[in-house]
Amino acid sequence: MKILGLILKNIGRNPLRSILTALGTMVLVFVVTMVWSVLWVLDLITAEKQENLKAIVTERWSIPSRLPFAYAAPISDGAVRQPGDIRPDDSMTWQFYLGSLDPKNLTRDSFIFAIACEPDKLGRIENGKFVTMMDGLESLSPKDQAALLEAIDRLKANRQGIILGYNHLANINRMTGDVRDVNIDQLMGKRIKLFGIGGYKGLDLEFEIVGVFPAGRYDNLGAFHRDYFNNALDQYPQTHGGRKHLLADRNLNLVWLKVPNMAAYNRVSAQIDQSPSFQDPAVKCETASSGMAAFLEPLRDLIWGARYVLAPACLITLSLVIANAISISVRERRPELAVMKVLGFRPAQILWLVLGESLLLGAGAGLASAALTYGVINWYFDGLRFPIGFLDRFYIPINALGWGAMIGAVAALVGSFVPAWTARSVKPAEVFAKVA
Partner 1 sequence: MAETNGAIVRVRGVHKYFRRGSERLDVLQDLTLEVPEGEYLGLMGPSGSGKTTLLNLIAGLDRPSEGEVWVGGQLISAMSEAQLARWRTRNIGFIFQFYHLLPVLSAYENVELPLLLLGLSRSERRRQVMTALELVGLADRIHHRPGQLSGGQQQRVGIARAIVTDPTLIVADEPTGDLDARSAEEILNLLDELRRSLHKTILLVTHDPRAAERADRVLHLHKGQLVEQAQ
Footprint of partner 1 (CB under 8 A): 2-3, 6, 9-10, 12-13, 335-336, 338-349, 427-429, 432-433, 435-436
In angstroms, how far apart are the furthest CA atoms of the chain? 105
Nearer to partner 1, 109 or 336 (CB): 336
CB of 388 to partner 1, least distance (A): 50
Q: Exposed/middle/buried for 305, CB within 10 Å: 0-12, 13-18, 19+?
A: middle
Cα 150 from Cα 160, distance rounded (Å): 16
Nearer to partner 1, 281 or 428 (CB): 428
Each residue of 391-420: b (16+ CB within 10 Å) or e? bbbbbbbeebbebbbbbbbbbbbbbbbebb
Nearer to partner 1, 164 or 350 (CB): 350
Cα 129 from Cα 135, distance rounded (Å): 16
Which CA distances in Å does 72 have to 206, 227, 230, 343?
A: 24, 13, 12, 82
CB of 14 to partner 1, least distance (A): 10
CB of 346 to partner 1, least distance (A): 4
Nearer to partner 1, 286 or 336 (CB): 336
Helices (H), 344-398: 347-375
Nearer to partner 1, 162 or 353 (CB): 353
Please check whether residue 226 is in contact with residue 95, taking contact to mean a CB–CB distance below 8 angstroms.
yes
Cα 396 from Cα 262, distance rounded (Å): 30
Q: How far apart are the first and last CA of the chain?
A: 34
Nearer to partner 1, 38 or 340 (CB): 340
Nearer to partner 1, 7 or 285 (CB): 7
CB of 53 to partner 1, least distance (A): 57
CB of 16 to partner 1, least distance (A): 15
Share in percent of the chain as helix, strand, coil (round to 5): 55, 20, 25
CB of 430 to partner 1, least distance (A): 9
CB of 428 to partner 1, least distance (A): 5
